[in-house]
Amino acid sequence: MALLRSLAVAAPLLVASHAQAPTFAGGTPTGSSPFARPTDLNAIPVSANASGAGGPLLQSFVSYSIEFAFFPDYAGNASYPNLFSNNLLESISAFSGTKPYIRVGGNTQDYALYDASLSVATNGTYIPSISKDYPLILSIGPSFFESYSTWPNTKFIHGFNLAKNTTDDRVKLLDTVPLVCKALGGGKLLYWELGNEPDLYKTSAQGRVRPPTWTESDYVSEWIDVTGKIGVSMAKSCTNMTRSYAYQYIAPSFAGTNNSLKPLTTWKDNLNAANYIALFSSHNYIGGATQPGVTLQGTLMNHASTVASVSKQIDTANALAQAGMTIPYILGETNSLYNEGAPGLSNAFGAALWGVDFNLYCAATGIKRVHMHQGTNYRYASWQPVDTPTTTKGTKPPFYGNIAVAAALGDLTVDKVQVEHLPLPDNTEAAYAIYANNSLARVMVINMAEYNYSAATVDSRPDVTYNFTVPTSCAGVGVVQRLIANGSDAITGVTFNGRSYNYELDLGKPRLLGNVTKDDITWVGEDGIFAVKVPYSSAALVQLSC
């Protein structure tokens, strides 16, 4: 694979104008905003082509990872499909051309043991002293696999249990193979996965499942052995799924880049000896929910934090490429703060802005797809799929960030889409150029300066005006679509381009609101200069006609 570009926050070539009340020369087109034509020519340059961008993205760049134990909550079953979840997935598809790909995995994938007599989809036992967020003892029954039938036109990655490795555990694993391969027939299968974060197996706070002497070579031998046995079992009931083009995995699904097993060593130990691996999958979290000093402004709404975190993935991807790896590099699981997020941080609008910056930075640096992790009652979830004693069913602010990213990238089934990072001078802001088939199509600007509306005075929200120079072929009308809420601490009242995706309005289907701006207008001059005003704690996507 081509080497991924490692980007860092540096002084930009030209600095954005930060005037609070800009003045403009020339006329304003009918129906346009009042900030149509800047006089400040100190503008951010944007290239006409994608020569400085990351490589083309895979379809369904905006995808999800759903905690194994809670997949039936998110999807429902054959009798009661979760229509709310499906509506949200359809809304992503309306921008991207395909529904998000769904990885069914996470920690509980490695706890799940099959019980053919179980009359319900799951039976879990929580151990609060270890984790209050998910069961550490988990049985799944035959009806678990019904959940793969509820979302039309959706492709899945099914996660098999690797951690539990007694003889009986392996028999129970292989007993699920006929069920899941039949459930994912008819085009529903994307890939398989075996094991979640095996680089933590001998160190995990949830319980160590391998001895301290377990090495990368041991892991590789075990992974190859078990994937081979799964393939043999699958050939007996779903022959078509064991053909070379169909029997493929994402791997190694490590928790990070520098834990007890190292990605590069694992790859050099010939993890892909059987040529089963379609995508190299890594996991990434910006920080921890209970880490000291974690704040909305300092951790999530901080471009430097995102750059530092993603750069570790880029360094690993480059090292793998130099070692001869040619398959795409993805984040098979990621979100804001590990341990399922922190209230007031991961579920606030500021986390939606973080999600836009994080996903577009990944796209700009060569990561081909991102699966945002979800779980019932998880603080960082994009939506809560069911009502529980602690959390109300509904759309959460992070989902609006997912929608904004999908809108920025556009239809990935039609265009070859690439993203370029446009460095800005402050860590509270970020900008990106999006190219379709090597032609500039959109510019995204994210202002992450914290604005807490609950503590603010009336009409005190500042804004920043950003000036850009784009190719003169883009002259004319630019359409501004805004991701906005009352402030970075908002939990409700979020919109993208004037639309709400709230459960309460129409089961998550997009609903245009009458009191929020939609399709604002900015004027791109004949010299290619345009301005866009962005309030603190908001983002603006400028659709160009180049």
Q: Are residues 444 and 503 in the same domain?
A: yes
Question: What band does 460 get if pLDDT is binned at 50, 70 and 90?
Answer: confident
Whether 23 maps to a domain, the answer reads no
Closest CA to 372 of 100, 47, 58: 100
b/e code 121-145 from CB counts within 10 Å (16+ = b) = bbebeeeeeebebbbbebbbbbbbb
Q: Kindly tell me if the per-residue pLDDT of 346 is higher than 60.
A: yes
Q: Kindly tell me if the per-residue pLDDT of 19 is higher than 90.
A: no
Of 2-6, 111-115, 438-442, which range is least confident?
Answer: 2-6
Q: H-helix or E-strand containing 173? A: helix 167-183
- The SS3 call for residue 292 is coil
Our answer to whether residue 333 is catalytic in this structure is yes
Q: Are residues 238 and 255 in the same domain?
A: yes
- The SS3 call for residue 106 is coil
Q: Are residues 361 and 431 in the same domain?
A: no
Q: Are residues 211 and 120 in the same domain?
A: yes
Q: Are residues 323 and 429 in the same domain?
A: no
- The SS3 call for residue 442 is strand
Which residues sit opposite 478 in a β-bridge? Answer: 522
Quick: pLDDT tens for 349-369: 999 999 999 999 999 999 999
pLDDT score recorded for residue 515: 86
Closest CA to 74 of 94, 102, 93, 98: 102
What six digits make up the tokens of 168? Answer: 């009986």
Q: Which amino acid is at 8?
A: A
Q: Are residues 242 and 298 in the same domain?
A: yes
What six digits make up the tokens of 315? Answer: 């360094």
Q: Are residues 467 and 339 in the same domain?
A: no
Quick: pLDDT tens for 197-239: 999 999 998 889 999 999 999 999 999 999 999 999 999 999 8
Q: Kindly tell me if the per-residue pLDDT of 22 is higher than 70.
A: no
Our answer to whether residue 504 is catalytic in this structure is no
Q: Which amino acid is at 387?
A: D
pLDDT score recorded for residue 458: 60
- The SS3 call for residue 343 is coil
Q: Are residues 110 and 247 in the same domain?
A: yes
Q: Kindly tell me if the per-residue pLDDT of 14 is higher than 70.
A: no
Q: Measure Cα distances from 1 to 61, 264, 315, 322 in Å.
A: 18, 15, 14, 9
The pTM score is 0.93
Q: Is 287 exposed, middle or buried (0-12, 13-18, 19+ CB in 10 A)?
A: buried
Q: Which of 333, 340, 420, 450 is catalytic?
A: 333
Q: Residue 327 CA to chain centroid, in angstroms?
A: 19
Residue 480: give its domain's CATH number: 2.60.40.1180
Cα 226 from Cα 162, distance rounded (Å): 8
Whether 31 maps to a domain, the answer reads no
- The residue from 387, 415, 443 where one domain ends is 415
Cα 509 from Cα 395, distance rounded (Å): 10
Q: Are residues 316 and 362 in the same domain?
A: yes
Check residue 131 and report its DSSP letter. Answer: B
Q: Kindly tell me if the per-residue pLDDT of 12 is higher than 80.
A: no
- The residue from 362, 386, 415 where one domain ends is 415
Question: Which residue reads 């083309």 in tokens?
Answer: 56
Give how many domains the chain has, as a whole number. Answer: 2
Closest CA to 74 of 439, 287, 357, 378: 378
Q: Kindly tell me if the per-residue pLDDT of 20 is higher than 50.
A: no
Q: Kindly tell me if the per-residue pLDDT of 291 is higher than 60.
A: yes
Q: Are residues 321 and 351 in the same domain?
A: yes
Cα 316 from Cα 322, distance rounded (Å): 10
Cα 213 from Cα 70, distance rounded (Å): 33
528 close to 545: Cβ distance less than 8 angstroms: no
pLDDT score recorded for residue 17: 36
Whether 12 maps to a domain, the answer reads no
Cα 492 from Cα 543, distance rounded (Å): 26
Q: Kindly tell me if the per-residue pLDDT of 33 is higher than 60.
A: no
Mean pLDDT, the chain, whole residue set: 91
Q: Which of 216, 340, 429, 450 is catalytic?
A: 216
418 close to 368: Cβ distance less than 8 angstroms: no
Domain of 531?
44-53+418-543
Cα torsion angle, 369, 94, 413, 446, sign: negative
Whether 11 maps to a domain, the answer reads no
